[in-house]
């Protein structure tokens, strides 16, 4: 059953009632002709409520339709639109992605390099431009082809009915990490955050590592990109959303305690608190697992205009006495300073640095070498 497009939930509920009535009639007919019409027997619609049928209708994109499936009304982008149903794009529309590139390459700071990509959704063609006033930076950036590859995957033209591009899977919201290794042992770690704000697409890119010496030209042969989901970020995000919704539910119950039946309210409150307790325990376990890749560094001198990646290179090379190739082999997902409490009258101390390693073994190695 296709539910009518629109935001008027009364229309959705009306169609849900019709569906329930039809299923009930089918049920009665099946009981009489069970041997003949067994294949048409429908059990899901008999006990389904209107609220269950129309659940999810508020989350559909304006260019999506409600499709009845099992016990809920699900979203589906309307042709010629495509996407993950929460966000739908029109096929054939040219898109523009903007962003900044920051980091360290060959011990040179990369700061606020403009990234601009034009996406032609009709044929999947991508044009990516990076602009910098530093000639040496522009030369080094030419060899970082994978920076733009993720945009190609995001808006590629699917080959086949079951094939999906990145936007259909993520709706334009994801974190991406890539490690480039060159023949002469140089390596570069790329981390990117893609997001959508209103109808605008943003991509923030952080790079760290070493690239080969500048060359006059670069030749890329045909190649295949393989993408692999490696994190449970969506699970944690949904868990926190559930936690927030349950918290709001508890607060609403507390505000209405005098107007509801005490016995029923107490039962609902206990149910909410049990669910919250289970969610908090699960969230704590996930965050403990997540924190095991983090390291806090205290006492590193701090400057107002510092580059955090250059600070980390100084830490690894000069304090931990690691050689440069070893330092560049550590893929770090993120690093930044966190504000620390300062006592009144006390000399200001540098804020600690939190470092997130991609691999637990690299973190342990750092502990053994310098006991960070």
Do 274 and 298 sit in the same domain of this protein?
no
Q: Give 21's pLDDT tier (boundaries 50, 70, 90).
A: low
Side-by-side strand order, sheet with 72-77 = 2-3, 64-69, 72-77
CATH code at position 299:
3.30.70.1820
Say if residues 5 and 12 touch (Cβ distance below 8 Å).
no
Is 50 exceeded by the pLDDT of residue 298? yes
* Residue finishing a domain among 78, 112, 129: 78
For residue 73, the model assigns a pLDDT of: 61
Inter-CA distances, 155 with 59, 60, 169, Å: 23, 21, 11
Q: Give 44's pLDDT tier (boundaries 50, 70, 90).
A: very low
Inter-CA distances, 348 with 87, 285, 345, Å: 47, 35, 9
In a domain, 223, yes or no: no
- Angle at CA 205, nearest 5°, toward 204 and 210? 170
Do 7 and 104 sit in the same domain of this protein?
no
Do 138 and 126 sit in the same domain of this protein?
yes
Helices 262-291, 233-255: crossing angle, 10 deg rounding: 150
Question: How confident is the model over 268-284, as pLDDT tens digits?
Answer: 888 888 888 878 777 76
The whole-model pTM stands at: 0.46
In a domain, 359, yes or no: yes
User: Largest Cα–Cα distance of the chain, in whole Å?
Assistant: 88
Do 127 and 198 sit in the same domain of this protein?
yes
Q: Does residue 327 sit in helix, strand or coil?
A: helix
For residue 282, the model assigns a pLDDT of: 72
Do 161 and 196 sit in the same domain of this protein?
yes
Question: How confident is the model over 332-341, as pLDDT tens digits?
Answer: 888 888 887 7
In a domain, 225, yes or no: no
Count of domains in the chain?
4
Q: Give 100's pLDDT tier (boundaries 50, 70, 90).
A: very high
- CA 188/CA 110 separation, integer angstroms: 13
Pairing state of beta strands 72-77 and 125-131? unpaired
Do 268 and 334 sit in the same domain of this protein?
no
Say if residues 92 and 80 touch (Cβ distance below 8 Å).
yes
In a domain, 143, yes or no: yes
Own/partner contacts of 298-302, CB < 8 Å, gap of 24 or more, are 298/350, 298/352, 299/349, 299/350, 300/350, 300/353, 301/350, 302/337, 302/350, 302/351
Phi, psi (deg, nearest 5) at residue 50: -65, -40
For residue 40, the model assigns a pLDDT of: 27
Lowest-pLDDT range, 28-32, 65-69, 141-145, 325-329? 28-32
Question: How confident is the model over 162-198, as pLDDT tens digits?
Answer: 788 888 888 888 888 888 888 788 889 999 988 877 6
Do 268 and 312 sit in the same domain of this protein?
no
In a domain, 224, yes or no: no
- CA 92/CA 80 separation, integer angstroms: 9
Pairing state of beta strands 108-120 and 94-105? antiparallel
Do 150 and 205 sit in the same domain of this protein?
yes
Say if residues 201 and 174 touch (Cβ distance below 8 Å).
no
In a domain, 85, yes or no: no
Do 49 and 144 sit in the same domain of this protein?
no
- Two structure tokens written together for 68: 């009845």
Inter-CA distances, 181 with 21, 144, 212, 322, Å: 62, 11, 10, 19
Do 72 and 152 sit in the same domain of this protein?
no
Non-local (6+) Cβ contacts of 187 within 8 A are: 179, 180, 181, 209, 210, 328, 329
Residue 190 belongs to domain spanning: 91-209
- Please give the average per-residue pLDDT across 245-259, as a whole number: 66
Do 115 and 181 sit in the same domain of this protein?
yes
Q: Give 47's pLDDT tier (boundaries 50, 70, 90).
A: very low
Do 298 and 271 sit in the same domain of this protein?
no
Is 80 exceeded by the pLDDT of residue 155? yes
């Amino acid at each position: 059953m296709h539910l009518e497009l629109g935001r008027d939930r009364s229309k959705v509920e009306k169609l849900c009632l019709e569906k329930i009535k039809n299923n009930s009639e089918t049920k009665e007919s099946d009981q009489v002709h069970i041997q003949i019409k067994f294949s048409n027997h429908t059990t899901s619609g008999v006990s389904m409520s209107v609220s269950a049928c129309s659940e999810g209708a508020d989350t559909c994109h304006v260019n999506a339709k409600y499709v009845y499936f099992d016990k809920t009304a699900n979203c589906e982008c309307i042709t010629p639109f495509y996407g993950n149903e929460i966000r739908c794009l029109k096929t054939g529309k040219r898109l523009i992605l903007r962003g900044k590139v920051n980091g360290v390459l060959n011990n040179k700071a990369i700061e606020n390099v403009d990234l601009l990509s034009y996406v032609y959704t009709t044929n999947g063609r991508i044009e990516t431009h990076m602009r910098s006033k530093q000639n040496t930076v522009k030369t080094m950036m030419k060899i970082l082809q994978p920076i733009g590859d993720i945009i190609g995957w995001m808006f590629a033209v699917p080959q086949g009915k079951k094939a999906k591009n990145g936007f259909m899977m993520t709706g334009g919201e994801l974190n991406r990490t890539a490690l480039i290794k060159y023949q002469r042992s140089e390596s570069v770690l790329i981390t990117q955050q893609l997001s959508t704000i209103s109808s605008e697409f943003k991509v923030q890119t952080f790079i760290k590592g070493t690239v080969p010496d500048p060359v006059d030209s670069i030749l890329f042969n045909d190649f295949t990109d393989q993408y692999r989901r490696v994190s449970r970020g969506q699970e944690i995000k949904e868990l926190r959303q559930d936690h927030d919704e349950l918290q709001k539910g508890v607060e609403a119950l507390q505000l209405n305690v005098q107007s509801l039946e005490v016995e029923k309210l107490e039962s609902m409150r206990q149910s909410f608190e049990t669910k919250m307790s289970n969610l908090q325990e699960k969230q704590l376990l996930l965050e403990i697992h997540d924190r095991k890749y983090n390291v806090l560094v205290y006492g590193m001198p701090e400057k107002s205009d510092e580059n955090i990646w250059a600070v980390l290179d100084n830490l690894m090379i000069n304090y931990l006495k690691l050689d440069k190739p070893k330092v560049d082999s550590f893929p770090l997902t993120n690093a930044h300073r966190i504000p620390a409490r300062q006592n009144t009258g006390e000399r200001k101390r540098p804020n600690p640095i939190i470092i997130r390693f991609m691999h637990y073994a690299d973190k342990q190695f750092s502990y053994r070498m310098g006991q960070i």
